[in-house]
Amino acid sequence: MRRELHITVNGDEYHLLVDTQRTLLDVIRDEIGLTGTKNGCGQGECGACTVLLDGEPVNSCLVLALEADGHEIVTIEGLADGGVLHPVQQAFVDAGAIQCGFCTPGMVLSAKALLDRNPDPSREEILDGLKGNLCRCTGYVKIIDAVEAAQCLLEEESS
């Protein structure tokens, strides 16, 4: 069965007709064509498909597309402001927090949500905020460095 879906993704409005069983991840990747959001497991266990739903990080593979009806989504493609990277993105680049890059979109969005929620997280809070995002390449050391650096960049920006 198909139903109408009205969502805003990265500021753009979409009016789609989608199968009721489609996930938000399916719609973002296959219907809208934003492939920056990755599918790592399809079971809500790796965090690669993390997007922001009204500012909160969700595993888009666990959200039915129609549950997002009327809501605002931000994907990794929506984070940079024109040609200027978001401070979290810039910090990931500079800190060497990216290897294969497949976990990166989800990791960056989880980090952004964490810093939006809590601009001054302790190390423990950083670890807690990113526990749902698996990375097999980096060993996480430089991801923690990046989030701490992003924290400073954001502080400088706001002061």
Total residues at interface with another protein (CB under 8 A): 53
Cα–Cα distance between 2 and 116 in angstroms, integer? 35
Nearest to 51 by CA among 72, 33, 67: 72
Return the residues of window 14-73 that contact another protein according to CB under 8 A: 29, 34-43, 45-46, 48
Dist CA 111 CA 42 (whole Å): 21
Told to check if 136 binds another protein by CB under 8 A, we report yes
Distance (Å, whole) CA 151 – CA 72: 25
Q: Could you say whether residue 152 binds another protein (CB under 8 A)?
A: no
Q: From CA 101, how far away is CA 3, in angstroms rounded?
A: 34
CA 102 to chain centre: 12
Q: Quick check: 138 binds another protein (CB under 8 A)?
A: yes
Return the residue of 130, 149, 150, 154 that touches another protein, per CB under 8 A: 130
Nearer to another protein, 137 or 152 (CB): 137
Cβ 122 vs Cβ 106: under 8 Å: no
Choose one: 52-60, 66-74, 77-85, 149-157; the region binding another protein (CB under 8 A). 77-85
Q: Using CB under 8 A as the criterion, which residues of the chain lie in contact with another protein when the complex forms?
A: 29, 34-43, 45-46, 48, 75-77, 79-80, 85, 89, 92-96, 98-105, 108, 126-128, 130-144
